[in-house]
Amino acid sequence: MSRARTALRVAPPLETSGPFAADVIAGLTAKPKRLPPKYFYDAAGSALFERITHLDEYYPTRSELALLTEHASAIAAQFPPGCALVEFGSGSSRKARSLLGATASVQAYVPVDICGEFLLQDAAQLPRDFPHLAIYPVATDFTQLAELPAEIASLPRAGFFPGSTIGNFEPHEAARFLRHAGSLLGAGAVFAVGVDLAKAPDILYRAYNDAEGVTAKFNLNLLARINRELGADFDPAAFEHHAFYNAQRSRIEMHLASTRRQKVRICGATIEFRAGETIHTENSYKYTIESFRALAHGSGWSPVAVWSDGLFSVHALRRSDAEQTADE
């Protein structure tokens, strides 16, 4: 990775009463215990995710990048001419680069990501390669985004949601997000969505249990983040990464399992763990092409094309305007 480092880092003040603290306390006092996966992505977690994308076992990034590279012109041909491309959960923007390099019809790029530090570093690299592109990064939770930057108000829109991040939602949340994206992107919008496919459980198992243990570090960083930002006293060494395929629900589940009976202090609360008790940290739903198309269709989008290598799929959807008006 070649990311410029800022010279001075000042530790942020401890947050004891904001939304992160509230979500952590709510999740750890729920039964069973859980934490929202969006909190994986502080600067350390985003860097660990980038490492995951380069692992041999983690096929989704390789598959999707190959699909985007091979079919970039066909995908971009679906976009309205002169459009703004809005990417949800843009991460390193590596995948957007494939599309931006294949078309002159994108005038503006709006990467949206919850990890502001990563977002701004990566957005700053783009003008060198795409000097004519207007870039408007938005650092926010994409489920809470109320409007797009005013600068793109007059442009038609295309959406991009790669990585199968849609699989990290529960299916009903995925449907809600697709409707929300439809409202944001507006009439006539096109949406390119990357979706990981159900497949042999051993391939899935390996993708989330890599030999080097990077996925375990990514999972455990959540506890380190809670310590750093909320002043909690988790001992990350007393928790283990568990990831397995739940075939009935067609999802990979990630958990952090307590290796012993223990108590953790967080923002004045004491959270007790039994030996073996887990915190459910992530689901990664796997779809079939048909099941994702049905989800999209029921959420205000008409499937127009799909590209797949059998492992992963990239769907082009067009907003079905008659169905969308109730949400706007």
Q: How many CB atoms lie within 10 A of CB 253?
A: 17
Residues 143-172, one symbol each (x = binds ligand SAH by CB under 6 A, - = not), give x------------------xx-x-------
Beta carbon nearer to ligand SAH, 45 or 156: 45
List C-alpha distances in Å: 295 to 60, 121, 242: 20, 34, 29
**Is the Cβ–Cβ distance between 163 and 152 less than 8 Å?**
no
Residue 285, phi then psi, degrees to nearest 5: -70, 140
Q: How far is the CB of 192 from ligand AVI (least distance, A)?
A: 15
Please report whether residue 63 would count as binding ligand SAH according to CB under 6 A.
no
Partner that binds at residue 167, options ligand AVI, ligand SAH, none, CB closer than 5 to 8 Å by kind: ligand AVI
Please report whether residue 221 would count as binding ligand SAH according to CB under 6 A.
no
Residue 226, phi then psi, degrees to nearest 5: -65, -40
List C-alpha distances in Å: 258 to 98, 268, 275, 304, 318: 42, 21, 6, 46, 45
Beta carbon nearer to ligand AVI, 83 or 96: 96
Q: How many CB atoms lie within 10 A of CB 247?
A: 11
Please report whether residue 221 would count as binding ligand AVI according to CB under 6 A.
no
Q: How far is the CB of 323 from ligand AVI (least distance, A)?
A: 27
Beta carbon nearer to ligand AVI, 165 or 250: 165
Please report whether residue 67 would count as binding ligand SAH according to CB under 6 A.
no
Distance (Å, whole) CA 213 – CA 36: 21
Please report whether residue 111 would count as binding ligand SAH according to CB under 6 A.
no
Please report whether residue 176 would count as binding ligand SAH according to CB under 6 A.
no
Residues 265-304, one symbol each (x = binds ligand AVI by CB under 6 A, - = not), give -----------------x-x--------------------
Beta carbon nearer to ligand AVI, 37 or 156: 37
Position among 91, 111, 300, 303 found at the interface with ligand SAH (CB under 6 A) = 91
Partner that binds at residue 38, options ligand AVI, ligand SAH, none, CB closer than 5 to 8 Å by kind: ligand SAH
Residues 31-70, one symbol each (x = binds ligand AVI by CB under 6 A, - = not), give ---------------------x------------------
**Is the Cβ–Cβ distance between 313 and 197 less than 8 Å?**
yes
Partner that binds at residue 52, options ligand SAH, ligand AVI, none, CB closer than 5 to 8 Å by kind: ligand AVI
- The sheet with strand 278-285 has its strands ordered as 33-34, 278-285, 251-258, 239-246
Residues 289-318, one symbol each (x = binds ligand SAH by CB under 6 A, - = not), give ------------------------------
List C-alpha distances in Å: 211 to 55, 73, 126, 215: 9, 36, 33, 9
| Bridge pairing between strands 190-196 and 157-161 | parallel
237 contacts: CB under 8 Å, gap ≥ 6: none
Q: Which stretches of 134-188 are DSSP H helices?
A: 171-185
Residue that is written with structure tokens 């983690």 in the block: 58
Please report whether residue 41 would count as binding ligand SAH according to CB under 6 A.
yes
Q: Which two tokens stand for residue 109?
A: 């790029």
Q: Which residues bind ligand SAH (CB under 6 A)?
A: 38, 41, 46, 49, 53, 61, 89-91, 95, 113-115, 141-143, 162-163, 165
